[in-house]
A and B are shown apart, each in its own frame.
Chain A
Amino acid sequence: EVQLVESGGGLVQPGRSLRLSCAASGFTFDDYAMHWVRQAPGKGLEWVSGISWNSGSIGYADSVKGRFTISRDNAKNSLYLQMNSLRAEDTALYYCAKARGALDYWGQGTLVTVSS
């Protein structure tokens, strides 16, 4: 059974940093690209970032480019999102998702709240 479990969310002040993690199990992690998608309270889905199976290809949404860094550790079956210079508009539930082209499995998300 595929499982994706996000962690690392919490309340953080504007301008500070946070690192999210996603622990994957139930599939061969290093065979697949992975993504982060977020959802602000009461709003729609927003793609944040994606990374290829070998970290050789990475993409970011314009809204986070230069502030967020995606990475993965295939030996640990883990995906990460380093978020720097956080803003109030980054407040959202952050999902990690496995990509088989489309996003076929999603975690339950970790909540990030940026507020003073």
Chain B
Amino acid sequence: EIVLTQSPGTLSLSPGERATLSCRASQSVSSSYLAWYQQKPGQAPRLLIYGASSRATGIPDRFSGSGSGTDFTLTISRLEPEDFAVYYCQQYGSSPPRATFGGGTKVEIK
């Protein structure tokens, strides 16, 4: 079973700053099956990035994903007030349908 480790656990930044979030897998993951989600308090998660680097519908271009193998990164180029939230990476597969989430990174206002 693949384990996803996200770091840091908490990122304290100011609006306008750049955020870099890391997701490391215990074994190689196909880039096609790595996603990132944003979750705000009291809300369901929202898909941001799929296939490691493709933005989901309606996601602003300040969000970008990169990486391959065991190391993946979510970058928020300039933090907007609405970006302060918890972010999860996820590895997924289809046969059988399965998924694994990382433990999450909280991006908080400094």
Chain A residues at the B interface, C-beta cutoff of 8 Å:
33, 35, 37, 44-47, 50-52, 57-59, 62, 95, 99-109
| CB-based contact A58/B47 at 8 Å | no
Chain B contributes a number of interface residues (CB within 8 A of A) equal to: 29
Residue B96 lies at the interface, judged by CB distance under 8 Å to chain A: yes
Establish whether residues B94 and A101, one from each chain, have CB atoms under 8 Å apart when the complex forms: yes
Instruction: Classify the secondary structure of B's interface with A.
Output: strand
Q: List which B40-94 residues lie within 8 A (CB) of chain A.
A: 44-47, 50-51, 56-57, 86, 88, 90, 92, 94
The answer to whether B97 touches A57, judged by C-beta atoms less than 8 angstroms apart, is yes
CB distance B44 to A104 under 8 Å? no
Report chain B residues within 8 Å CB of A95.
44-45
Can you give 6 A-B contacts (C-beta < 8 A)?
A: A45-B101, A45-B104, A99-B94, A101-B51, A103-B45, A103-B92
Contacts of B45 in A (CB 8 A): 37, 45, 95, 103, 106
Interface of B toward A, CB cutoff 8 Å: 1, 32-33, 35, 37, 39, 44-47, 50-51, 56-57, 86, 88, 90, 92, 94-104
Q: Which of A44, A51, A59, A101 contacts B101 (CB 8 A)?
A: A44
Whether A44 contacts B97 by the Cβ 8 Å rule is no
User: With a CB–CB cut-off of 8 A, which chain A residues contact B88?
Assistant: 44-45
Q: Are A108 and B103 in contact (CB under 8 A)?
A: no
Closest 10 CB pairs of A and B: A50-B97, A59-B96, A102-B35, A102-B50, A106-B44, A47-B99, A59-B98, A45-B101, A57-B96, A44-B104
Interface contact A33-B97, CB-CB below 8 Å: yes
